[in-house]
Amino acid sequence: MNKIFVQDLLGWLDQQLKPALFQDYAPNGLQVQGKPEIKKVITGVTASAQLLQIAADKGADAVLVHHGWFWKGENPCVVGSKYQRMELAIRHGLNIIGYHLPLDAHPEWGNNAQLARVLGLIPDRADDGSGQPVVFGRGGLIWSGAVPGGLRTLADLGAHIETALGRSPLLIGNNERPLRRIAWCTGGAQGMFEEAIARGVDVYLTGEASEQVYHQAMESGVAYIGAGHHATERYGVQALGQAVAARFGVDVEFVDLPNPV
């Protein structure tokens, strides 16, 4: 297995994911400095204390995640679970590397692209020959496309999602409603339902739900699916990890720590 400098990995990740293009809620890239060289990377959805302990036990030098630390509005003091996580990272020399919105949006490795792959959704593509996905909404984070052939109704799509993600989704709307057009945004994008409704789709899929989405679904006739924040965001960081392994020849291992939310 290869050994690489952290700076080389970070330079490449920034080049691929272009964090400067995003107005994000947390810093992207290196969040906590660790060992200067990397042989083994652990990837995961969230840089929780449990993930860091597993990374340390496996002898990793870096943890690459979708949900890192230092979110806007959180208590900045290094106390409680923030202290516990930082102490673990620093004691074991773990580099903590996080990419949030850039890893939702990436056209190939992003969470939206990878969820489409896992569920068989057929993304709309630009007709300019670039093959780029058609995106809309705040920050261009919502994708649209076609429901996989053979799935006619909300009930059909719900059953398909349950099989593909291993988790029963929340379905809001008429179960027998025929579906053709779908919009999706992984994670906690319940606040973008209105933009999806305005786009004229039959169903909107995201990870979480809030109370008001029930009424929005009932009043608009557009179905709503809450398929799990964690469950919809497991795939981007895995694809990115595979790309890192292919590019640098370092050992990359994904650790899934299931989360019911």
From residue 228 to residue 257, the character string flagging contacts with Zn ion as x (rule: CB under 5 A) and all else as - is -----x------------------------
Helix (H, G, I), strand (E, B) or coil at 95: strand
> Is 233 annotated to bind ligand?
yes
Count the residues of the shown chain that bind Zn ion, applying the rule CB under 5 A: 2
Question: Would you say the C-alpha torsion 125, 128, 130, 135 has a positive or negative sign?
Answer: negative
Minimum CB distance to Zn ion smaller for 110 or for 187? 187
Query: Least Å distance between CB 100 and Zn ion?
Result: 7
Query: Least Å distance between CB 67 and Zn ion?
Result: 6
Of 108, 66, 99, 158, whose CA–CA distance to 116 is shortest? 108
Take residue 51 and report the two structure tokens written for it. Answer: 């993930």
Minimum CB distance to Zn ion smaller for 63 or for 147? 63
How far is 110 from 100, CA to CA, in rounded Å?
A: 10
Hunting for tokens 């810093």 — which residue is that? 27
Minimum CB distance to Zn ion smaller for 190 or for 216? 190
Based on the shown chain and the rule CB under 5 A, indicate whether residue 187 belongs to the binding site for Zn ion.
yes
User: Which parts of the chain fold into alpha helices (H)?
Assistant: 6-17, 49-57, 80-91, 101-105, 111-119, 154-165, 193-198, 211-220, 229-232, 236-248
Query: Least Å distance between CB 259 and Zn ion?
Result: 11
Query: Least Å distance between CB 56 and Zn ion?
Result: 24
From residue 127 to residue 156, the character string flagging contacts with Zn ion as x (rule: CB under 5 A) and all else as - is ------------------------------
Answer whether 41's CB lies under 8 Å from 54's CB.
no
Query: Least Å distance between CB 110 and Zn ion?
Result: 12
> Is 61 annotated to bind ligand?
no
**Sites of contact with Zn ion (CB under 5 A):** 187, 233
